[in-house]
């Protein structure tokens, strides 16, 4: 009987002890497939092993769109995850919904973490912030558009990589002579529209690029600069100095890979895949070109990719867990690991410094281009943009610009159509956020 008593007592104490140490569990919904998903899992494991108060479980919820819709449906049903990954074009929907998320800055400060926005690289600071500069979403997988070039091809033509589009016009004929399509690009809206505005510090939308609110925001795409740029692109296309192969990223990039194109505009994150493919030629990257006639020096670019949002409606302990995770995520070691494994830019200067000290950029010079570009000079219009229904607006941009490049419409009609349909969509969006 004594033994029973002892066993029971020990068991009870054991139960009480484990109850006291019950870990707070949080969930993270993301849309990272393939290798990226593996690194996400690595980060989660690292966090879980680094402490014993919290456990995070990442769940792959499909594409970016499926993840967002899943999170929204879950929110309506009261089953939302703690952290959700939201892509750039969907950010306006999430931020515009008052009360759906807790701003990351608030979350961190409320839970006693130091938060200084200056710790973050200039170009990433304000994209997911509000008009007062408070960070609402935490940039997670960010990239910047850069120009990759085939060094062998350029050497063969006897030219250097261009810094401006004027430079490009100078060197393109030689490249064509040498048997290449001088340049292709992979994403018309991101590279030739959104980041065009940032690189030249041109306003992209009214209301401070949309940050001041959705009410009355209009898109400013129908500008002389845009018309000039696209007219030039079409001229290059017709003269064989530029190649356009549809709206698919891969279809265009493929021409660089098989050496029919000498340069391509892509993402700073591409270099990982390029390295892995062991290409039979030397390549390097440089900044996205700009027109020196519009601005003498180029500005920083917007970031692309996705960010993490903390969803509202969770108890205090879970919010504390979320804050702890964000702290872990933004630590230099983790940022450096993420940057190294995936090619996305590290979001803090500390991580960047760590990578430099580790000699990462000696091994992979192309990895640094994106970060350095995000640290170029900033202007009033380089923080980012916030437009609702931007996914649909991007579709309109893709559609009209494709038609224009295919010769089915004029540049004036294309830009006016984008403007008209874009503004109609923005007007509709502002009505959805009215309470």
Partner 1 sequence: MKRAGFDNRWLPMLLLIPQLSIICLFFYWPAWQALRSSFYLEDPFGLGETFVGLKNYTRLWDSSQYMKNAWFTVWFATLVTFFSLAIALLLAVKADTVLRGARTYRTLLMWVYAVAPPVAGFIALIVFNQRWGPLTEFFAQFGWQMKIRLDYFDTAFAMIVASVWKQVPVNFIFFLSGLQSIPRSVREAALIDNRSGLSRFWTVTFPLLAPTGFFLLIINITYSLFDTFGMIDTILRNNPGDQPVTLVYQVYLDGFRGQDIGGSSAQSVVLMVLVLALTIFQFRLVERRIHYT
Partner 2 sequence: MAELSQTPLPPEQARAASLERRAARPRPFRWGEAVNHIVLIAGALFMIAPLLMLVQMSTVPDAEIMRTGPSFAIGDRLGPNLDKALFGSMSYSGETTGINMFRNSMILGLGFAIGKIIIAMMAAYAIVYFRLRFATLAFWLIFTTLLLPLEVRIVPSYEITQKLGLLNTWTGLIVPLIASATATFFFRQFFLSVPEELVEAARIDGAGPVRFFLDILVPLSRTMIAAMFIIMFVYGWNQYLWPTMVSTEEGKFTLVQGIKQITQGLEGGHIPEFGRSNLLAILAVLPPVLVVIFLQRWFVKGLTESDK
Contact 121, 347 (CB under 8 A): yes
Query: Of 7, 9, 51, 63, which one interacts with partner 1 (CB under 8 A)?
Result: 63
Q: Which of residues 212-271 bind partner 1 (CB under 8 A)?
A: 244-249, 251, 254-255, 258
Task: Count the residues in the chain.
Answer: 435
CB of 34 to partner 2, least distance (A): 3
Angle between helices 34-50 and 316-329 (to 10 degrees): 110
Which residue in 26, 44, 159, 321 binds partner 2 (CB under 8 A)? 44
Q: Which residues contact 121 (CB under 8 A, 6 or more apart)?
A: 345, 346, 347, 348, 349, 352, 371, 374, 375
Q: What minimum distance in Å lies between the beta carbon of 89 and partner 1?
A: 9
58 binding partner 2? (CB under 8 A): yes
One of 38, 53, 66, 380 touching partner 1 (CB under 8 A): 66
How many residues of this chain bind partner 1 (CB under 8 A)?
42
Query: Could you say which of 5, 17, 19, 77 contacts partner 2 (CB under 8 A)?
Result: 77
412 binds, among partner 2, partner 1, none (CB under 5 to 8 A by kind): none
The yes or no reply on residue 49 touching partner 2 (CB under 8 A) is no
Q: Which does 201 bind (CB under 5 to 8 A by kind): partner 2, partner 1, none?
A: none
Residue 72 contacts partner 1 per CB under 8 A: yes
- Using CB under 8 A, which of 76, 99, 132, 435 touches partner 2? 76
Q: Within 10 A of 418 (CB to CB), how many other CB atoms are there?
A: 25
| 3-state secondary structure (DSSP) of residue 83 | strand
Residue range at the interface with partner 1 (CB under 8 A); choices 44-52, 89-97, 337-345, 355-363: 89-97
**Residue 384 within binding range of partner 2, rule CB under 8 A:** no
Q: Sign of the CA dihedral 297, 241, 160, 277?
A: positive
Nearer to partner 2, 38 or 238 (CB): 38
Q: How many CB atoms lie within 10 A of CB 116?
A: 7
What does 62 bind: partner 1, partner 2, none (CB cut-off 5 to 8 Å by kind)?
Answer: partner 2
Give the closest residue to 343 by CA, choosing from 139, 120, 51, 144: 144
- 117 interacts with partner 2 by CB under 8 A: no
**Among residues 38, 53, 65, 413, the one that binds partner 1 under rule CB under 8 A:** 65
CB 252 → partner 1: shortest distance, Å?
Answer: 9
| CA–CA separation, 290 and 338 (whole Å) | 30
Q: Does 97 bind partner 1 (CB under 8 A)?
A: yes
34 part of the interface to partner 1, by CB under 8 A: no
Q: How far does the chain reach from its first CA to its final CA, in angstroms?
A: 68
Q: Which does 391 bind (CB under 5 to 8 A by kind): partner 1, partner 2, none?
A: partner 1
Side-chain-facing half-sphere of 69: CA atoms under 13 Å? 5
User: C-alpha distances in angstroms, 399 versus 247, 365, 394, 433?
Assistant: 9, 35, 8, 27
Inter-residue contact 311 to 84 (CB < 8 Å): yes
Integer Cα distance of 301 and 74 in angstroms: 34
Under the criterion CB under 8 A, does residue 185 sit at the interface with partner 2?
no
Please tell me the distance from the alpha carbon of residue 370 to that of residue 121, in angstroms, as a whole number: 11
Residue 128 CA to its chain's centroid (Å): 10
Closest CA to 213 of 421, 419, 383, 431: 431
For binding to partner 1 (CB under 8 A), which residues are involved?
Answer: 63, 65-66, 68-69, 72, 75-76, 90, 93, 96-100, 244-249, 251, 254-255, 258, 389, 391-392, 395, 398-400, 402-403, 406, 424, 428, 431-435
For binding to partner 2 (CB under 8 A), which residues are involved?
Answer: 27, 31-38, 40-41, 44-45, 57-63, 66, 69-70, 72-74, 76-79, 81, 249-250, 254, 257-258, 266-267, 269-274, 276-278, 342-343
């Amino acid at each position: 009987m004594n033994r029973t008593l002892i066993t029971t007592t020990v068991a009870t104490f054991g139960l009480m002890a484990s109850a006291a140490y019950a870990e707070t569990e949080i969930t993270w919904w993301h849309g990272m497939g393939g290798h990226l998903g593996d690194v996400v899992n690595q980060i989660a494991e690292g966090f879980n092993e680094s402490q014993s108060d919290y456990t995070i479980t990442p769940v792959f919820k499909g594409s970016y769109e499926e993840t967002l819709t899943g999170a929204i449906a879950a929110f309506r049903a009261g089953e939302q995850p703690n952290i959700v990954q939201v892509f750039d074009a969907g950010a306006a929907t999430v931020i515009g919904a008052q009360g759906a998320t807790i701003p990351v800055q608030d979350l961190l400060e409320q839970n006693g973490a130091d938060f200084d926005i200056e710790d973050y690289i200039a170009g990433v600071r304000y994209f997911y912030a509000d008009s007062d500069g408070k960070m609402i979403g935490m940039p997670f997988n960010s990239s910047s558009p850069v120009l990759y070039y085939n060094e062998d091809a350029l050497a063969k033509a006897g030219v250097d990589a261009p810094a401006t589009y004027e430079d490009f016009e100078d060197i393109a004929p030689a490249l064509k002579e040498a048997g290449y399509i001088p340049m292709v690009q992979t994403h018309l809206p991101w590279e030739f529209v959104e980041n065009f505005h940032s690189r030249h510090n041109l306003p992209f939308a009214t209301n401070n690029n949309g940050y001041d609110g959705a009410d009355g925001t209009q898109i400013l795409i129908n500008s002389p600069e845009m018309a000039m740029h696209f007219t030039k692109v079409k001229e290059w296309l017709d003269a064989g100095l530029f190649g356009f192969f549809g709206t698919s990223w891969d279809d265009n990039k493929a021409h660089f890979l098989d050496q029919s194109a000498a340069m391509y505009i892509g993402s700073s994150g591409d270099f990982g895949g390029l390295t892995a493919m062991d290409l039979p030629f030397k390549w390097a990257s440089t900044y996205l070109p700009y027109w020196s006639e519009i601005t003498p020096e180029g500005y920083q670019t917007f970031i692309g990719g996705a960010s993490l949002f903390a969803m509202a409606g969770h108890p205090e302990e879970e919010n504390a867990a979320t804050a702890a995770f964000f702290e872990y995520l933004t630590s230099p070691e983790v940022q450096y690991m993420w940057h190294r494994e995936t090619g996305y830019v590290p979001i803090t200067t500390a991580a960047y410094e760590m990578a430099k000290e580790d000699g990462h950029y000696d091994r992979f010079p192309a990895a640094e281009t994106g970060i350095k570009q995000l640290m170029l000079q900033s202007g009033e219009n380089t923080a980012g943009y916030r437009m609702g229904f931007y996914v649909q607006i991007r579709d309109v941009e893709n559609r009209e610009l494709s038609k224009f490049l295919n010769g089915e419409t004029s540049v004036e009609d294309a830009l006016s159509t984008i403007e008209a349909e874009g503004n109609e969509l923005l007007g509709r969006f502002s009505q959805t956020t009215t309470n």
